[in-house]
Structure 1
Amino acid sequence: MRGYAGKFAEIDLTTGKVSQVKFEEDILRKYIGGRGLAAKVLWDRLGKKWDKVDPLSPENILTFFAGPLTGYYPGGRICISGKSPQSNGIIGSTMAGEFAVELKCGGWDGIIVTGKAEKPSYILVKDSSIEVRNASHVWGKDGKQTILTLSKEVRDEWNKKYPSREWREPSMVYIGPAGENKCRIAGVQGKFAHGAGYGGYGSVMGSKNLKAVLARGTGPLPDVADPDKVYKMMDEACKSLYTNDIFRRWGTGYLGYAVGNTQSSEPVRNWQEEWHDEKSFSVDQFESRVWVKRYWADFGCPTACEKLSVVRLGEFKGAITDNPDYENQAYVGTNLGIFTPEANVYVNSVIEDLGFCGIQGGNILGFAGELYQRGILTKEDLGGIDLKW
């Protein structure tokens, strides 16, 4: 079927076996895209015993699926799915970046992971070659350390093995310590500050001793049935996205102070309030105090709404994250009683390094903060932590 590379990789971590899986065209049409096909695979393989499958057991299946528009439509999202340890249902958790595009250019539409590795491992995809490698040296490392270590390791190896070209680092999805410890709000992370947070699939990776999946594809994208129509669609989408001046300049963080706050829909101290007048937390303060790169885009996206934020002075010096976007600006910002860009960037960077979902994590921390405020949780309960707003 046009738009698909034509094959999926299935990797049994228990045995290390890698095999190809193909789906008939009628299946790809009925269950189009990453979410639909993942639901079909999970139901066919686990449906009859669904209630008995522990999401954190080797029996669970984890999928990383692209779709037929991957690489053509701006954004290049990967859909990660499995039986969720949060809901015991199926959640299609998506993340932007280059990973899905690298898979497609390597000749793969997705990866199906089964079993559990005997020791910490990572999967390396380079075109048609797929290996399961030892990841013991990065197990326990945070997000940034994992990216830097594995990227350099693989890139140096390729440059030495294939000296006729200069290799750039592979794209990567990975987990932090939260996933390794099977925390149910652990996300699957990408880049320095991206994440597929919903579903708790970082904990599923941790339960399988899978630290990361790296991919690099050197081939072209799969052919499409009608290139002219696809190019027209891309052109229309790009024009629409490019003219979104508000998101282009301010990012989704604009929705916090400038929109959510004025409409009384921004969480403050675990939603005890919905409005604040802290002008220090307005989006222009993020721009002047922490943004060091104002335009940063995911694969093929002309909006470039992401911003790179770095704290350069004070107690949080060195903290780095993107934007933050609206959700993390809100849930690990005002929802925790935080009203300065520097503190918000710091908490975001900690969450990303640990590898758990900022929205769910922010809600849990906010709930704990209110319990502490009301005397239901005490300093003794928290091991001496004074959890004041």
Structure 2
Amino acid sequence: MYSRKGYAPNSKDLNYKSGNSSEFQEGYTEQQQQQYTNHLKQLKTEFEQRWRKTPKFPIAFSELDRVKTLGTGAFGRVVLMKHTKSGKLFAMKVLEKEKIIKMKQVDHTLYEKRILEAIRFPFTVSMEFSFKDNSYIYFIMPFVPGGEMFTHLRRMGKFEEPLSKFYASQVLLALEYLHFCNLVYRDLKPENILIDRNGYLKITDFGFCKILQGRTWTLCGTPEYLAPELILSKGYGFSVDWWSFGVLLYEMNAGYPPFYANEPMKTYEKIVAGKYRCPSSFNADLRDLVRNVLQVDISKRYGVMKNGVMDYKNHKWFRGIVWDAILNCRIPPPFVPKYKNPGDTSNFERYDEEPIVPTSYCRYESEFLEF
């Protein structure tokens, strides 16, 4: 088997209504897109307002009790926390200052904090609170109990097409929102997508996300999901996210990514050549969509051309998707993760618990002064 391991939406998140939307309407009209663009403008204004503000948090770090580790990574771990007064559950990302310094990720980390504080969209996580002590910094976010898409994809082998289409529509809307706010995400993959208790998803881990004006050259992301222009150091923009979206489309439907080798360099060679094979299970519409997204020539890649996201929203593979209903989480999900109680962590892997003990003196105070 191929292996790669390197909160509930509600009406308060978004309640957008298109002037002529219908639960049964096929495709998406120019008028609907224009109305939605006006709504995105409002969301962008709100993002910019939050970006400029320093948030004030109504709880103290001491009010949070540690429950269980949900995941580990290069810089630290994610831990389930419980607020002692309200009983509310949170996912706390614990990042060790020393590791961030050694891997030269200070700017990325500070950027991630500000982005998480400012974004608000049904299919992205957002920051609830943040704290720091002598040794660590802490991101407190909603607990999403369904676990990673990666876990469910491996369990199922591959997703049935209706489930892939359901997830893809949400990822598409999330990328549209992020790009409208001038944010390039740069790390789309099943490991960074969480499934909520209601079956809808949340994109998480914004460590490589940044505000983009023009082009950037930083090499970052996951090998199998990197776009050709990123690998070739040509300078890139939002096009890299659409390429990753194409890889995700393929992997959800196939169970493995289109470009894969035992060594990263060989993977890169396959990506730059743009050669892959679709499984026989892919129908003509899916093959056509993947072909138009995994397009080495950026000028021909869906999402980047003149019609923008409309090339997706009106593509035959997305036929039957009612975009406004997806946006407002009104479509019954094809799959809902098993969920016994509010603190159920059965959708996450088990990890050994390690103590989080800050030093007696403040480390790297100047580097994290702006946190």
TM-score band, normalised by the shorter chain?
Answer: under 0.3
TM-score w.r.t. length of structure 1: 0.23
TM-score w.r.t. length of structure 2: 0.23
> Which has more radius of gyration?
1
**Bigger strand share:** 1
Structure ranking higher on relative contact order (CA contacts 8 Å, 6+ apart)? 2
